[in-house]
Amino acid sequence: MTRPPQQEAAAPARFTRTLRGWLRGRRLFYLIGGVVLAVCARVLRAMEHPWEGKTALRIEKGYDWIGVDYLRFYGFWIGVGVTTVLGLFVLTARWWWPRANAAPPPGSPDDNGEPGASRDAAGSRSSRAVWLCLGGIVLLATALRVMQVDRLVLRDEQDSLRYHVSGFFERDVHTGEPVFREVTWPDAFAWNPGGNNPVLMSVSARASLALWQKFAGKGPEFANRLAMRMPALLAGIAAIAAIWWFVSRFAGQRAALVTAFIAAVHPYLITHSLEMRGYPFVLLAAPLALGFALLALRHGCWRHWVGLGASLFVMLSAYLGSAFFALPLALGILGILAARLRGSGGDPALAARAGRDLWRLLLVGVVTFALYVQFEGPSVICFYDHREKFPWVFRMRLNWWLTFWTENTTGRLFNRGGNADSDAAVFLAKLRETPVYWMLATVMLALAGAGLARLWREKADRATAILISAVALSPFIQVMAHAFILHRVLFFYYLIYWAPVFLALVALGLDGVANAVARRWFPAQSHAAGAAVICLFLGFFVWKAPAPLAVLMKKPLHQNGPVVIDRGKSHWIVYPEGRMIRISKEEPVPETFPW
């Protein structure tokens, strides 16, 4: 007996619905976890193991290791450990799944004690005007960065390029003939003797360069600055939108747009968001981590916790010192959840939500840390094996603090200019020369303080105030650690993760001051008057800061000749096309690529 056509057509639909109904929740997790474990096992089995091949020979003979040895040895054994952790994570899901996915009773309050309420400042849809303003700000940021993307290679960039991205030419010690020292993928992932390999940026720039070489038909000895800077450029532009998104989680759209605009034109952020180091990814991930943390504390969704973990993974993979940002953030979240659990007062709804979020935080933290150790572990161990006394140590001098202050407020580097006077004397002389500029730098600090005070006055969102205060202290914690524990050099731009938080507080304080002025002097047109006050300040900032908008009217900072950087007994020379050579300091510097 044949079935009617309608039943035959409905059979696949019923099968699809049945499959979807079965592949939900823990079953879907088991399926995904099984696939991930199978891939991990396949990779571990297929890779060249540390007890075979050239790595085994170098271990047996006691030879110096190279990048591939760290990747094979530590990459393999860390991979075994990470696979074991992930396997336990899957096998114990029957135990932790109900706890991490417990549904609070209906009508359970959010963190503000209001049933079903959402404290998103951007909870309502952004208006068309907001999207147009944000689009204009992102376009402006793109223009300011694209105009400088072909600038000369900086000293720190050159350190990363020669060993982790593009390689270099030098004369063979035996024949005297020029040879090319190619960078391999293991060099990008694991070779880090000087502690200056931002693995995420090195791998991204190496991949971008490889794509350019393939489509341009060039060999590995050719390089291109635009290709190598492309990941930094994209991350730096995306950071502007990320900063707006983060600030809009706790402040109004106006404050979020103001923060994005200042970040778009800020010289400090423009300079380091184009650098082939880890800073652009840190600048992108820091606001994302904070935004996801705020959402996770309010709503507790898995996607918010996973977003927080992914953001911290990016930060730490781009700059290990981001741990001074990640730890206060994680401890702040943990403290807030523990306080909610303790302060539930026996309320089952509050206790269930706090307990569920604690489980999600811990589970995401374990997986994120395991994946980070797999990705970054060989590089960190390589640095530890090659550690040596660094020629510079960090001392907390007035000059350092003045540079940190001026770079974060206006982007203008505090330069002593070879002056033999004390730091205080140089500062007072500069203060007398440009009092209006120093007034701007001081006002921005005052606005940041006003913004932080405004956060704490809004008692309805205490969790936000706690988190932002915790990460606002992170650079000062790192300064103390470098000065009294690590004794290693600390440049101000290592702390670039602080910039989005600082600028957000400046914008929040500015928004509060503008509202107060408008209500006091122009009550009938308070909204327009407040916007005018903000525009006046932004115009003042662009005028007195080093005028980044002027870049659009001037010739970009293209590299037209060789850039010479001295290291030890050698000249490291980068040519405009991106190729690099190493020669003795006794040799003359060729004006063009010599080989």
Whether the pLDDT of residue 512 is over 70: the answer is yes
pLDDT of residue 437: 87
Reported as a pLDDT band with limits 50, 70 and 90, residue 519 is: confident
Distance CA 568, CA 391 (A): 12
Whether the pLDDT of residue 358 is over 50: the answer is yes
Q: Does residue 559 contact residue 153 with C-beta atoms inside 8 Å?
A: yes
Bigger pLDDT: 477 vs 53? 477
Whether the pLDDT of residue 550 is over 70: the answer is no
Residue with tokens 């050719």: 222
What sign does the CA torsion over 261, 267, 268, 271 have?
Answer: positive
Mean of pLDDT values over 548-569: 68
Q: Does residue 260 contact residue 238 with C-beta atoms inside 8 Å?
A: no
Mean of pLDDT values over 253-260: 95
Q: Does residue 165 contact residue 206 with C-beta atoms inside 8 Å?
A: yes
Model pLDDT for residues 376-393, shown as the tens digit of each residue: 999 999 988 887 756 567
pLDDT of residue 11: 54
- Least confident among 6-10, 183-187, 233-237, 334-338: 6-10
Reported as a pLDDT band with limits 50, 70 and 90, residue 418 is: low
Reported as a pLDDT band with limits 50, 70 and 90, residue 448 is: very high
385 Cβ partners below 8 Å, 6+ apart? 65, 193
pLDDT of residue 466: 92
Mean pLDDT rounded to a whole number for the chain: 85
What Rg do the C-alpha atoms of the chain give, in angstroms?
27
pLDDT of residue 295: 94
Residue with tokens 């308070």: 526
Bigger pLDDT: 431 vs 549? 431
Whether the pLDDT of residue 288 is over 70: the answer is yes
- Least confident among 101-105, 399-403, 426-430, 462-466: 101-105
Secondary-structure breakdown of the chain: helix, strand, coil percentages, each rounded to the nearest 5: 70, 5, 25
179 forms beta bridges with: 170
- Among the listed residues 586, 578, 541, the one whose alpha carbon sits nearest the alpha carbon of residue 229: 578
Q: Which of 62-66, 123-127, 457-461 has the highest mean pLDDT?
A: 62-66
- Whats the size of the chain, residue-wise? 595
Percentage of residues of the chain with pLDDT beyond 70 = 87
pLDDT of residue 106: 58
- Least confident among 157-166, 336-345, 493-502: 336-345
Whether the pLDDT of residue 343 is over 60: the answer is yes
Task: Pull the structure tokens for residue 38.
Answer: 């199978």
pLDDT of residue 113: 39
Reported as a pLDDT band with limits 50, 70 and 90, residue 52 is: confident
pLDDT of residue 5: 57
Distance CA 282, CA 273 (A): 9
Whether the pLDDT of residue 114 is over 50: the answer is no
Mean of pLDDT values over 85-96: 91
Distance CA 255, CA 548 (A): 21
Q: How many helices (H) and strands (E) does the chain have?
A: 23, 5
Reported as a pLDDT band with limits 50, 70 and 90, residue 504 is: very high
Whether the pLDDT of residue 73 is over 90: the answer is yes
pTM confidence score: 0.90
Model pLDDT for residues 102-113, shown as the tens digit of each residue: 776 555 544 433
Whether the pLDDT of residue 117 is over 50: the answer is no
Percentage of residues of the chain with pLDDT beyond 90 = 46
- Least confident among 8-22, 144-158, 172-186, 202-216: 8-22
Reported as a pLDDT band with limits 50, 70 and 90, residue 557 is: low
Task: Pull the structure tokens for residue 120.
Answer: 């998103």
